[in-house]
Structure 1
Amino acid sequence: MVKSFAESIDEQRLPSLLGLRFPVHDIPEAARDMFLLAGQRSIVDVANEKIGLSPLHSKETGKRLKTNIYYRQVDPCHIQYLKAMGVQSSLVVPILHYDPHEQSAKPKLWGLLVSHQTEPREILKREVNVLQQVADQVAIATRSK
C-alpha cells in the first residue's frame, strides 16, 4: 500500500487525498518502468487525452526511447481516475530511491510527486524542472532513513 502523506489544495477545488492509501498495483508495471526510463510525465488536457512535455531520452542511458512518448495514448483507466477527481491536467515526477547497500545502481520507484490542475494547461519546462528538483530533494532525504 502507498499512502498520500502531504498535499496543498488551492481553494478546495480538488478533493483531498491526504492519508488515503492506494494499492501499489494502481500504478501498472509498464507505467512504473516508464517513470524509471523517462522521468516526468504530463497530461496537458485530460478531456482530450493529450500528453504534454515528456522527455524522449532515457535518463539512465541517454539513448532515445523506442516509444515516442509525446504522442502515446494515455491509459483509459488513468483518464477515468483523473476525471473522477476533477483533474484536467496533471504533472507527475517520480521520486527515486537508490539503496546504497545494493550492488545494482538501478533506482527503484519510491513515490510520485504529483501536481493536478482543475483546468487544461500547458506545463512549462521550468515548472517541470522545479518539480524535479523537489522530487530529487525528497529522494535524497529518503536515503538517510
Structure 2
Amino acid sequence: MVSIILLVAVVLIIFIFLLIGAGIKAGSEKGGEDVIKNVYIYLVLFATLMMTIGGSVAAFMAVADIVAPTPYYQSFEEFKRWGHEKAVGEEPTKLSDAELLENYQSMVHSHKQTSIERSKNSLIKSFGWIVIPLPIFIYFQRRLNRKESV
C-alpha cells in the first residue's frame, strides 16, 4: 500500500516538473503565465478528484461493513474452553452449556453491534472526503470550461 502511494507521488511529481518545463518553454514564446495557471488548475482538479474517488471507495467499503459486518472470530467451542472468566476473589464456578451459549451469543451480538457502529463512524468520515473536495472540483472545472470557451 505504501509503495503504491509512493509510486503515485513520484509519478505526480514527474508530471508536475514536465508541465512546468513545458510552461517555461512556452513562456518565452507566448505567455507562460497562462500555462502555469492551467497547470495549477489541472493539479487542483486532479487532487480533488483523487480525494473524491478515495472517499467514495471508503464510503462503499463502510456501507459494505454495515450491511455485512465481519463475523466474530472465536467459535463456541473455543469460548467454552477459554471464555468464562471469573472476577478476582470469586469461587471458581462451573457454568452450564446453556449459560455459556447465552454468554457466547451475547458476546457475538456485542461484537456485531460494535463493528456496525465503527462502520457508521467510518462512513461519516468518508463522506467528508467526498463533500469537502467536490465543490472545489466543480468550481475549478467550471472555471476551466469558461476559460476554454473564451
TM-score interval, normalised by the smaller of the two chains: under 0.3
Q: Work out which structure has the larger RCO, using CA pairs closer than 8 Å and 6 or more positions apart in sequence.
A: 2
Q: Which has more strand, going by share of residues? A: 1
Q: Which has more helix, going by share of residues? A: 2
* TM-score, normalised by the number of residues in structure 1: 0.22
* TM-score, normalised by the number of residues in structure 2: 0.21
